């Protein structure tokens, strides 16, 4: 974290405060995709699976909006790239609730474009 405040000037000439700046040598977070989860898997199950890695900052199991049921995948975010890499090596292919899970680095979301409504 930087000791002095960091500001960016936008197009209107206004100062915008940026509270967190990644400095040289500081690691950014890394997000992992966890797939082939049982539909009964919860965030607590993932937290328990990844508990040996101390730098886990966030765990999400993706659920269906209509039913609230798990969609069979989730994401785990780490503050350390090294721990994330170790998690991929040790947990990819491991059994969780009778399913062989897939653990790898998450890809950035695809641009899904304008989803149905266009303005002319």
97 Ramachandran zone, left/alpha/beta (phi>0; psi -120 to 50): left
Identify the band that residue 108 occupies on the pLDDT scale cut at 50, 70 and 90. confident
- What pTM, to 2 d.p., does this model score? 0.70
- % of the chain residues with pLDDT over 90: 62
Q: How far are the Cα atoms of 32, 47, 65, 66, 74 from residue 70, in angstroms, in the given order? A: 17, 15, 10, 11, 9
Asked if the model's pLDDT at residue 63 lies above 90, the reply is yes
* Residues 33, 107 contacting (CB under 8 angstroms): yes
What is 27-105's CATH number? Answer: 3.30.70.330
Q: Is the pLDDT of residue 77 over 60?
A: yes
| Segments in 1-120 forming alpha helices (H) | 43-49, 81-91
């Amino acid at each position: 974290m930087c000791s002095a405040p960091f500001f960016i000037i936008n197009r209107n000439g206004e100062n915008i405060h940026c509270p967190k700046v990644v400095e040289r040598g500081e690691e950014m977070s890394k997000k992992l995709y966890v797939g082939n989860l049982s539909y009964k898997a919860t965030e607590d199950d993932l937290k328990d699976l990844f508990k040996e890695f101390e730098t886990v900052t966030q765990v999400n199991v993706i659920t269906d909006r209509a039913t609230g049921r798990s969609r069979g995948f989730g994401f785990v975010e780490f503050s350390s790239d090294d721990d994330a890499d170790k998690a991929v090596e040790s947990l990819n292919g491991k059994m969780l609730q009778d399913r062989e899970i897939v653990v790898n680095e998450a890809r950035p979301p695809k641009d899904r474009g304008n989803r149905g409504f266009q303005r002319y």
